[in-house]
Amino acid sequence: MARLRLVSLMALQGLTRNPVLSMATLAMMGLSVFMVNIVLALHTLVGGTVTELQSQVDLLVYLKEEAGLYEVNQAILELEKDDRVRDVVYVSKEEALQKFLTDNPETEGVIQKLGIENPLPAYLQIFAIDPLAHGELAESLKTGPQRDLFLSVQSGDRQTAVITQLLRIAHFTRQLSIGVLTVFLAGTALLVAEAVHLSIFSRKTELKIMHMVGADLNMIQLPFIFEGIFYGIGAVILGSLLLVSFMTITGLESVSVVQENFEWVRILGSELIGSLVISALVSWITVDHYLNHYTNA
pLDDT at 109 over 70: no
Please report whether residue 165 resides in a domain: no
pLDDT at 113 over 60: no
* Region 289-295 average pLDDT: 67
More confident residue, 137 or 27: 27
pLDDT score, position 230: 85
Please report whether residue 161 resides in a domain: no
With cut-offs at 50, 70 and 90, classify the pLDDT of residue 30: confident
CATH code of the domain in which 101 resides? 3.30.70.3040
With cut-offs at 50, 70 and 90, classify the pLDDT of residue 216: low
Please report whether residue 160 resides in a domain: no
174/281 same-domain check: yes
Please report whether residue 11 resides in a domain: yes
More confident residue, 261 or 53: 261
64/198 same-domain check: no
pLDDT at 52 over 80: no
90/151 same-domain check: yes
pLDDT at 2 over 60: yes
Segment 115-151, tens digit of pLDDT: 567 777 888 888 877 766 777 777 887 887 777 888 7
30/177 same-domain check: yes
131/175 same-domain check: no
Of 104-108, 211-215, 230-234, which has the strongest mean pLDDT?
230-234
14/62 same-domain check: no
Domain boundary among 155, 189, 213: 155
* Region 250-272 average pLDDT: 79
More confident residue, 91 or 294: 91
125/180 same-domain check: no
Domain boundary among 126, 155, 184: 155
Q: Are 225 and 284 in contact (CB under 8 A)?
A: yes
With cut-offs at 50, 70 and 90, classify the pLDDT of residue 85: confident
185/287 same-domain check: yes
Please report whether residue 140 resides in a domain: yes
pLDDT at 114 over 60: no
Specify the range with the lowest mean pLDDT, choosing from 37-46, 56-65, 226-235: 56-65
pLDDT score, position 159: 59
With cut-offs at 50, 70 and 90, classify the pLDDT of residue 42: confident
pLDDT at 110 over 60: no
pLDDT score, position 56: 62
Please report whether residue 162 resides in a domain: no
pTM of the model: 0.63
133/261 same-domain check: no
Q: What is the mean pLDDT of the chain?
A: 77
Segment 222-232, tens digit of pLDDT: 777 888 888 88
* Region 104-110 average pLDDT: 63
pLDDT score, position 3: 67
Domain boundary among 121, 155, 189: 155
73/27 same-domain check: no
pLDDT at 93 over 70: yes
* Region 6-20 average pLDDT: 74
78/113 same-domain check: yes
9/46 same-domain check: yes
Please report whether residue 163 resides in a domain: no
Q: What's the number of domains the chain is made of?
A: 2
Please report whether residue 77 resides in a domain: yes
More confident residue, 278 or 170: 278
Structural domain range at position 29: 2-52+170-296
pLDDT at 269 over 80: yes
